[in-house]
Amino acid sequence: MKQPQQTIETIAVEDLINRVHSFHDDGYRLVQISCAAEGEAFEVTYSFDKDLTLTHLRIPASPDKPIPSISRIYLASFVYENEIADLFGIPFTGIAIDYKGTFIRTSIPHPFGSSQISVVKKKPEGQHE
Amino acid sequence: MSYLQKSPWIIHYDASSCNGCDIEVLACLTPLYDVERFGILNTGNPKHADIFVITGGVNEINKEVVQNIYEQMPHPKVVVAVGICACSGGVFRECYNISGGVATVIPVDVYVPGCAARPESIIDGIVQALGILEQKRHAMNAGVEGTV
Amino acid sequence: MSKQIIVPFGPQHPVLPEPIHLDLVLEDERVVEAIPSIGYVHRGLEKLVEKRDYKDYVFISERICGICSFIHGATYCQGVEQIMGIEIPRRAEFLRAIWSEYSRMHSHLLWLGCFADGMGYENLFMNCWKVREKILDVLERTTGGRVIQGVNRVGGVSRDMDAAELKRILSEIPSLRDDFTELTRIFDEDLTVQTRTKGIGILPKDKAWDLGAVGPVIRGSGHAVDVRSTGYGAYDELDFKPVVRDEADCYARCMVRAEELFTSLDLIENAIDRIPAGDIMVPVKGNPSGEYYARAEQPRGEVIHYVKANGKKNLARHRVRTPTLANVPALVQMLAGCELADVPVIVLTIDPCIGCMER
Ligand code: SF4
Closest CA to B35 of B138, B148, B126, B145: B126
Average pLDDT over residues B102-130: 84
CA of C62 to the centre of ligand 1 (A): 10
Is A89 within 8 Å of A42 (Cβ atoms)?
no
Reduced to 3 DSSP states, what percent helix, strand and coil does chain A have, rounded to the nearest 5? 25, 30, 45
Domains and CATH numbers, chain B: 7-141 (3.40.50.12280)
Chain C residues in contact with A71 by the CB 8 A cut-off are none
Domains and CATH numbers, chain A: 8-93 (3.30.460.80)
Average pLDDT over residues C16-44: 71
pLDDT at B60 over 70: yes
Residues 6+ apart with CB under 8 A from C37: A99, A102, A103, C21, C22, C23
Is B129 within 8 Å of B78 (Cβ atoms)?
yes
Closest CA to B13 of B32, B61, B30: B61
Is B101 within 8 Å of B8 (Cβ atoms)?
no
Mutate to test the pocket of ligand 1, among B28, B55, B112, B121 (most ligand atoms within 8 A of CB): B55
pLDDT at C251 over 70: yes
Whether the CB of A106 is below 8 Å from some CB of chain B: the reply is yes
Closest CA to C317 of C130, C122, C76: C76
pLDDT at C155 over 70: yes
Residue C135's alpha-carbon distances to A59, C66, C163, C179, in angstroms, are 45, 15, 19, 12
Report the pLDDT value the prediction gives residue A28, as an integer from 0 to 100: 83
**In whole angstroms, what is the distance from residue C35 CA to residue C6 CA?**
10
- Confidence band of A125 (pLDDT split at 50, 70, 90): very low
Whether the CB of C40 is below 8 Å from some CB of chain B: the reply is yes
- Confidence band of A108 (pLDDT split at 50, 70, 90): low
Q: Name which of C63, C111, C149, C322 to mutate to probe chain B: the one with the most chain B Cβ atoms within 10 A of its Cβ.
A: C63
* Cβ distance of C18 and B19 shorter than 8 Å: yes
Would you call the peptide bond into B76 cis, given omega within 30 degrees of 0 as the criterion? yes
Using CA positions, which residue lies closest to atom 3 of ligand 1?
B116
Query: In this complex, which chains have at least 3 CB pairs below 8 Å with chain A?
Result: B, C
Q: Which amino acid is at C9?
A: F
* Cβ distance of A56 and C82 shorter than 8 Å: no
Would you call the peptide bond into C11 cis, given omega within 30 degrees of 0 as the criterion? yes
A window 7-46, beta carbon within 8 A of C: 8, 27, 29-32, 34-37, 45
* Total H helices, total E strands in chain B: 5, 5
* Total H helices, total E strands in chain C: 12, 8
pLDDT at B142 over 60: yes
Q: What is the pTM of this model?
A: 0.83
pLDDT at C19 over 70: no
Whether the CB of B99 is below 8 Å from some CB of chain C: the reply is no
Report the pLDDT value the prediction gives residue C317, as an integer from 0 to 100: 79
Q: ipTM of the predicted structure?
A: 0.78
CA distance from start to end of chain C: 42
Across A78-82, A95-99, C74-78, C290-294, least confident range: A95-99
* Cβ distance of A104 and C42 shorter than 8 Å: yes
CA of B98 to nearest chain A CA: how many angstroms apart? 9
pLDDT at C14 over 70: no
B18, B44, B95 member nearest C14 (Cβ) = B44
Cα Rg of chain A, angstroms: 16
pLDDT digits (tens, 9 = 90+) for C195-209: 777 877 778 888 888
Residue of chain A whose Cα is closest to the Cα of B98: A107
Is C221 within 8 Å of C206 (Cβ atoms)?
no
Chain A residues in contact with B60 by the CB 8 A cut-off are 105-107
Q: Which atom in ligand 1 lies closest to the alpha carbon of residue B116?
A: 3
Chain C residues in contact with B95 by the CB 8 A cut-off are 43-45, 47-48
**In whole angstroms, what is the distance from residue C327 CA to residue C211 CA?**
8
Report the pLDDT value the prediction gives residue C304, as an integer from 0 to 100: 86
Is B85 within 8 Å of B115 (Cβ atoms)?
yes
pLDDT digits (tens, 9 = 90+) for A53-71: 788 888 887 777 788 888 7
Site residues for ligand 1, CB cut-off 6 Å: B 17-18, 20-21, 55-56, 83-85, 90-91, 115-116; C 63, 66, 148
Residue B36's alpha-carbon distances to B10, B20, B29, in angstroms, are 11, 21, 6
Neighbours of A125 (CB within 10 A): 10
pLDDT at A124 over 50: no
Chain C residues in contact with B31 by the CB 8 A cut-off are 126, 129-130, 133
**In whole angstroms, what is the distance from residue C224 CA to residue C245 CA?**
9
B16, B26, B96 member nearest C41 (Cβ) = B16
C window 99-128, beta carbon within 8 A of B: 110, 113, 125-126
Residue % of chain B over a pLDDT of 70: 93
CA of B55 to the centre of ligand 1 (A): 8
Q: What is the dihedral of CA B5, B15, C321, C95, to 10 degrees?
A: -40
Using CA positions, which residue lies closest to atom 5 of ligand 1?
B17
Is B30 within 8 Å of B43 (Cβ atoms)?
no
Average pLDDT over residues C4-28: 69
Mutate to test the pocket of ligand 1, among B23, B84, B94, B121 (most ligand atoms within 8 A of CB): B84
Domains and CATH numbers, chain C: 4-358 (1.10.645.10)
pLDDT at B59 over 70: yes
Across A67-76, C89-98, C219-228, C349-358, least confident range: C349-358
**In whole angstroms, what is the distance from residue C101 CA to residue C97 CA?**
6
CA of C123 to the centre of ligand 1 (A): 28
**In whole angstroms, what is the distance from residue B70 CA to residue B81 CA?**
13
Using CA positions, which residue lies closest to atom 2 of ligand 1?
B115
Report the pLDDT value the prediction gives residue C212, as an integer from 0 to 100: 80
